Structure 1
Amino acid sequence: MICLRGICGVRWEDRITNESVREMDGDEDTILIRVEDIQRRWFAHVQRMEQDRWPKIVLLGRVAGNRPRVRPRDSWVTAFKKSNRGETFQQLAQMALDRDLWREWQHQMQDPTRRIMDGI
């Protein structure tokens, strides 16, 4: 946001909200939305890989051993499941295998009206 404010010529003393600066720039996506879009693209890319490729093994694999008794950290897959409301992990994995179906779903996820309805 600091870089975007500099590009738009807005100083921090001006007390203009981040949303207003994004509207000035014409970019209404937040960083979180961009990260989720990139995660979805990466997930689909890995799903289409062969079973013996390291990225797929690491993404879907489990680490042996026990975690400490504190609250467990979210894994990448757990965070990914939370960010894609309404679809199960198995549905997403199956959908990712069909590139055209995945792209159509991606466009639906990027639709601004859907984001408003989901409260994003």
Structure 2
Amino acid sequence: MDAMRRLLRISRRDRMRNEMVRERVGIEGTITNDIERKQLIWYGHVQRMEEQKIPKQVLNWIPPVRRKKERPKKTWIEGIRKSMSKKNLTDNKWNRQEWKLGIGQRGKTL
């Protein structure tokens, strides 16, 4: 946001909301949407891998010990599942074209 504000020569003292700044620059969405999209891209990539590949084994691995008292209860995969449910994606769509369309990446058009 700081870079966008400098681009428009708007200071924080001007008290303009971040949504207005994004609108003026012409950027849609937020950083959290970009992070979710990148995570879904990586998740689809790993799911298309063979079972013996290390990234896929690590993704499916569950640690044998309990979490410490102050640790968050939510895991990375739970966040992915939530993102998938928001975009109406199912676990059986590992076809690259279907997955790209589902997560919002543009597919090539002829």
Unaligned runs of 5+ in 1: 111-120
The runs of at least 4 aligned residues of structure 1 exceeding 3 Å deviation read 68-72
Q: Alignment RMSD, CA only?
A: 2.2
Which residue in the other structure is 1:55 paired with? 55
1:99 to 96, 99, 103: 96
Unaligned runs of 5+ in 2: none
Task: Specify the SS of the correspondent of 1:84.
Answer: helix
Letter in 1 for 2:96: R
Task: Give the distance between the partners of 1:17 and 1:48, measured in 2 at CA.
Answer: 41
Q: How does 1:1-120 map to 2 (within 5 A)?
A: 1-68=1-68, 72-85=72-85, 87=88, 91-92=90-91, 94-95=92-93, 97-107=94-104
Task: Give the Å deviation of 1:69.
Answer: 5.2
* Structure having the larger proportion of residues in helix: 1
How many aligned positions are there? 105
Task: Give the distance between the partners of 2:23 and 2:11, measured in 1 at CA.
Answer: 16
Task: Give the distance between the partners of 2:69 and 2:12, measured in 1 at CA.
Answer: 43
TM-score of the two chains, using structure 1 as the length reference: 0.75
Task: Give the distance between the partners of 1:55 and 1:4, measured in 2 at CA.
Answer: 36
